[in-house]
Amino acid sequence: MKYTLIMFFLVLNLPIHSQTLIFNEVLASNDSLMTDSFGDYDDWLEIHNTTNTAINLNGYKLYDDPNITAWFFPDTVIEPFGYIVIWTDDQLFQNTNGWNSDMHANFKIDKDGETVYFKDPSGNLIDTISWSNLPTDTAWARIPNATGPFTLTTNYTFGSNNTPPVSSNTFETQIQTHLFPNPSKGLVFFNIDFADLEIYDSLGNLVYKEENFSLSQLDLTFLKRGNYFLKFTNKDRTTVKKLIKT
């Protein structure tokens, strides 16, 4: 009986690692969607903080092969409910821009399939992500965001919520407009006569509004990098366009 009680005590005191940090999205064959700060179409992984507490990732590590040296995160913080994207391009020299810009790992990922591991400074496994045969320019993402199963989607959401707050499928797409370039660093051009314009961030927050919008261009450099949804309304006609701000 004494031996049994001791074993029971040890089991209860084993460390339990909750899913506070998770892999949320991967794009393993980026041919034309998103460039890093050097203008390269590299592949990337996204990690999401599912808690309301900021977490310092200093000492955490990623690797896709136990036989190679893992890539260690710098002294950087992932904000509450925030996201961090790592370019998996094996181009460490591009980290010379500083850790406050892009982060580049020391390995590449393969669209045909593999597993990436995420460990804390003590070597405990935090999360893994696996895939096989990912199409080009198609993400492997948790949908609904953070809680759902990994799903193939062409609606990639670099560094933001995988569940859009609004969807163009909700509306009758009768207003025909295009915006370019997309992705954009800030200056966006339109070919629309007039409409009311609302811009929402990836969390559904209204960040910009203008009535009777009739400009051929709009300077959105004030927006942070991420995904936005531009809602154009003209009387009973509405359409929503997704914009990627780099």
Which band of pLDDT confidence, cut at 50, 70 and 90, is reported for residue 12?
very low
Predicted confidence at residue 228, as pLDDT, reads 83
The answer to whether position 12 is within a domain reads no
* Whether residue 179 is found in the same domain as residue 145: no
* Whether residue 218 is found in the same domain as residue 104: no
**Can you give the CATH number for the domain in which 110 is found?**
2.60.40.1260
Give the domain extent around 113: 18-153
Which of 3-17, 105-119, 216-230 has the least mean pLDDT? 3-17
Strand order in the sheet with 179-180: 179-180, 187-190, 217-219
Q: What is the pLDDT of residues 181-202, one digit of tens each?
A: 777 787 877 666 567 888 888 7
**Greatest alpha-carbon span in the chain:** 82
* Whether residue 149 is found in the same domain as residue 229: no
Number of domains the chain contains: 2
* Whether residue 111 is found in the same domain as residue 61: yes
- Please say which residue of 153, 185, 212 terminates a domain: 153
How many contiguous H segments (helices) and E segments (strands) does the chain have?
A: 1, 18
* Whether residue 134 is found in the same domain as residue 193: no
* Whether residue 37 is found in the same domain as residue 106: yes
What is the pTM (predicted TM-score) of this model?
0.62
Which band of pLDDT confidence, cut at 50, 70 and 90, is reported for residue 178?
low
Q: What is the pLDDT of residues 72-118, one digit of tens each?
A: 998 888 988 889 999 999 988 887 654 445 789 999 999 999 999 99
Residue 69 neighbours by CB distance under 10 Å: 10
For residues 59-65, give the mean pLDDT. Answer: 94
* Whether residue 115 is found in the same domain as residue 225: no
Give the Å distances, CA to CA, from 117 to 33, 64, 129. Answer: 25, 6, 7
Averaged pLDDT score across all residues of the chain: 79
- Please say which residue of 153, 181, 208 terminates a domain: 153
* Whether residue 108 is found in the same domain as residue 177: no
